[in-house]
Amino acid sequence: MWDDLHPVGRVASTGGYRRFALTGEDHTLHEWFAEQSVRRGLDLTSDRMGNQWAWWGNPDEAPGQGVVIGSHLDSVPDGGAYDGPLGVVSAFAVIDALREQGFAPDRPLGVVNFVDEEGARFGVACAGSRVITGALDADRARGLADVDGVTMAEALRAAGRDPHEIGRDDETLRRVGCFVELHVEQGRALADLDPETSAVAIGTNIWPHGRWRIDLPGMANHAGTTRLEDRQDATLLAAELVLAARAEAQRHATVATVGKLRLEPGGVNAIASHATVWLDSRGPVEADVRATVAALSDETAQRGGTIVEESWTPTTAFDAGLVSQLRQVLGDEVPLLGTGAGHDAGILATAGVPTAMLFVRNPTGVSHSPEEFAEQDDCHRGVAALTKVVQDLAAGAGSSPDQAGPS
C-alpha cells in the first residue's frame, strides 16, 4: 500500500506531499481507496460530502453498531507521508489481519477516508467530517474559496459532482457505533519514554483550536519614489501582527502560528496595498486561546484591519468508556496522550459518536513536514494494537461501552 501511495502528490524537491481537496491527486487517492476496498470485497459507499466508507458487514442491518477505523489521505502543503495515510493503511491492514485469523465480526466493520481533513485548500480543517455532522453549514462550505478564488462549489462541479449534494448526512452517521482513528504522533512525547511500552499511545483529548483570517489595509505605491513617511504599507502591519501573535501566545500560554500570508499586488517594486494573514491558535485551556485571539483582534482593529473566524473547535475529550476499554485491551502501561493537533475523530466525538485515538510513536516529533516519520516496527505495533481493539469492539453486540449512535 505504501508503494502505491508513495508517488501521489510527491514534491521531488522537498520529499513532501501536496494532496489537496478536489484536485487530480485527491482523485487518484480516492481511486486507490476504492481499489483497496474492492480488492477486499468491502462494500464501498461515499456520503454526501464524498467521504469514503468501506464496510465489512451491512451497517444498515445493525444501526449504530458499526465499528469504524481509518483517517484521511489529504495533506498540508509539503506535508509528511504518515499524517492521515498511516491511519487508512493501518485500517486496511487490520481487516487483513482479522481475516487471516479467521475472525468473524459480530458488528459491521468500516474503514473511512475523510476528505479535506487538513483544510489546506479551502481553509477549514476537517471539512469532510464537519459537513456530514452539520458542524459546517453546507452553504458556507460551498462558498469557501481557495487562494485562486475558486470556490468549493466550483471545484466540486469541476470534479463532476453536484455541489448541492453536500450536507449533513444522518444516514451515514447512524451506521457508526464508534470510531477509532490511528494516527502518527505529532510531537515527541513518546520518544523519551520506555521504548518497550511506548510505541503506541491512547489519545485522551484534543486541545481547543481555531483559524482566523486577518485583512490589513495599505496603499499601493512606488517602491523607489515614495518617501518612507508617506507610505501606507500593508506588509509592515502584517509583520507587526506576526510578532504580536508570538507575544500574545507567550503571554497566555498558548501557541499561535502564521504559516500563510498573502501580499497584494505582490510586486517586488510596489508597496503592498493589502495583506492577508492567516492565524492558527491553540492551547490546553480554551479561555487562554480566546484571550490570545481577543488581544490580536484589538491589534488588528488598531491598524484598521478586520479579523474573521474561519473555524473553531472547542476542547474535545474522547469517550471515557471507550478510552478505558482500550486501556483494558492494550494494558495500563500504554501511555495516554492529549494532542494539540485537530482530527476528524474530534469532530465525530463532538457530534456524539463514541470516539478514541491511537498514536504511533514519531521519533523526530516533527509533523506537517517531510521529516515526519514512524519506524516500520512501530507501524506494525500500531496495526497489532488496532487489531486487538477492533477484535474486542466487534466481538458480540453489547461489548461497546456506548452503543448509542450520534446524538
Give the binding site for ligand GLV (CB under 6 A). 118, 125, 341-342
CB of 359 to ligand GLV, least distance (A): 13
Under rule CB under 5 A, residue 16 binds Mn ion: no
Task: Read off the C-alpha cell for 232.
Answer: 501606507
CB of 99 to ligand GLV, least distance (A): 31
CB of 344 to Mn ion, least distance (A): 8
CB of 342 to ligand GLV, least distance (A): 4
Q: Which is nearer to ligand GLV, 37 or 313 (CB)?
A: 313
Q: Which is nearer to ligand GLV, 67 or 88 (CB)?
A: 88
Q: Which is nearer to ligand GLV, 208 or 305 (CB)?
A: 208
Contact 333, 197 (CB under 8 A): yes
Which residue type, as a one-letter code, is found at position 231?
R
Bridge-based pairing of strands 316-317 and 200-206 is antiparallel
Q: Which stretch binds Mn ion (CB under 5 A): 58-66, 82-90, 277-285, 315-323?
A: 82-90
Dist CA 63 CA 299 (whole Å)? 50
Q: Which is nearer to ligand GLV, 89 or 394 (CB)?
A: 89
CB of 124 to Mn ion, least distance (A): 14
CB of 43 to Mn ion, least distance (A): 25
- For the chain, counts of helices (H) and of strands (E): 12, 13
First to last CA, the chain: 35
- Choose among Mn ion, ligand GLV, none what residue 131 binds, the Cβ cut-off being 5 to 8 Å by kind: none
- Choose among ligand GLV, Mn ion, none what residue 84 binds, the Cβ cut-off being 5 to 8 Å by kind: Mn ion
What is the length of the chain?
407
Q: Identify which of 318, 314, 317 has the alpha carbon closest to the alpha carbon of residue 389.
A: 318
Q: Which stretch binds Mn ion (CB under 5 A): 19-27, 84-92, 239-247, 376-384?
A: 84-92
Q: Which is nearer to Mn ion, 84 or 123 (CB)?
A: 84
The whole-angstrom distance between residue 314's C-alpha and the CA centroid of its chain comes to 15
- Choose among Mn ion, ligand GLV, none what residue 125 binds, the Cβ cut-off being 5 to 8 Å by kind: ligand GLV
- Cβ-closest residue to Mn ion? 83
CB of 118 to ligand GLV, least distance (A): 6
Dist CA 286 CA 126 (whole Å)? 19
- Choose among ligand GLV, Mn ion, none what residue 66 binds, the Cβ cut-off being 5 to 8 Å by kind: none
Q: Which is nearer to ligand GLV, 76 or 98 (CB)?
A: 76
Q: Which stretch binds Mn ion (CB under 5 A): 59-67, 77-85, 122-130, 398-406?
A: 77-85
Helices (H), 282-375: 286-302, 320-330, 344-350
Strand order in the sheet with 255-264: 255-264, 274-282, 209-217, 306-313
Q: Identify which of 141, 83, 154, 114 has the alpha carbon closest to the alpha carbon of residue 311.
A: 141
Phi/psi region, residue 52 (left: phi>0; alpha: psi -120 to 50; beta: rest), is beta
CB of 282 to ligand GLV, least distance (A): 8
Pick out residues in 142-181 that bind Mn ion (CB under 5 A).
Answer: none
At residue 170, φ and ψ (nearest 5 deg) are -70, -30
With CB under 5 A as the rule, give the number of residues binding Mn ion.
Answer: 2
Q: Which is nearer to ligand GLV, 237 or 341 (CB)?
A: 341
Angle of CA points 80, 167, 260, to nearest 5°: 35
Q: Which is nearer to Mn ion, 83 or 185 (CB)?
A: 83
Under rule CB under 5 A, residue 83 binds Mn ion: yes
Residue by residue, DSSP assigns 11-76 as -TTTS-B---TTSHHHHHHHHHHHHHHHHTTPEEEE-TT--EEEEES-TTTSTT-EEEEEEE----
Under rule CB under 5 A, residue 84 binds Mn ion: yes
- Choose among ligand GLV, Mn ion, none what residue 382 binds, the Cβ cut-off being 5 to 8 Å by kind: none
Cβ partners under 8 Å of residue 300, min gap 6 = 214, 216, 241, 306, 307
**Where on the chain is the footprint of Mn ion (CB under 5 A)?**
83-84
